[in-house]
Amino acid sequence: MTDDPARALISLFEEERRALLDGALDLIPAIGERKLALIAALAQADPGEEELARIAKGARRNGHLLAAALAGLAEGANRLEAIRSGARGFSAYDRTGRAERIDNAGQPGIERRA
């Protein structure tokens, strides 16, 4: 760790940003641990207002990126569930307008494409 935790934290926010933009989400937990250590060191330091403003800006920016990544993961999970659900069967209406469940369990001849 550097002698200047504020500058190190600003640099780490940039590293985190690159990881998020590259989709390297496996790096985020380790970056988070490093951020916690730097924040603890920052509490003992005396950063200037400009450095604090840059830290706040980096934190906000990466917060938005993290929220977008999380939303993308949730949407992907929803899409996978829809595909799995279609593989199990689907609902359709009969000629009288009643909903009817058509199951696909064990019927390899029926395929629903997403």
Give the per-residue pLDDT at 107: 57
Summarised one tens digit per residue, pLDDT across range 36-76 is 999 999 989 989 999 999 999 999 999 999 999 999 999 99
Reported residue count of the chain is 114
95 inside domain? yes
Token couple for 78: 């929803």
Give the per-residue pLDDT at 36: 96
90 inside domain? yes
109 inside domain? no
9 inside domain? yes
Q: Is 106 left (phi over 0), alpha (psi -120 to 50) or beta?
A: left
Give the per-residue pLDDT at 100: 84
Give the per-residue pLDDT at 112: 57
Summarised one tens digit per residue, pLDDT across range 68-98 is 999 999 999 999 988 887 667 777 888 898 9
28 inside domain? yes
Domain of 11 in residue numbering reads as 5-103
Instruction: Tally the domains of the chain.
Output: 1
11 inside domain? yes
Percent of the chain at pLDDT above 70?
Answer: 87
110 inside domain? no
Q: Label residue 110 by pLDDT band (50, 70, 90).
A: low
The alpha-helical segments, DSSP class H, found in the chain are: 5-22, 28-44, 49-88
Higher pLDDT: 10 or 93? It is 10
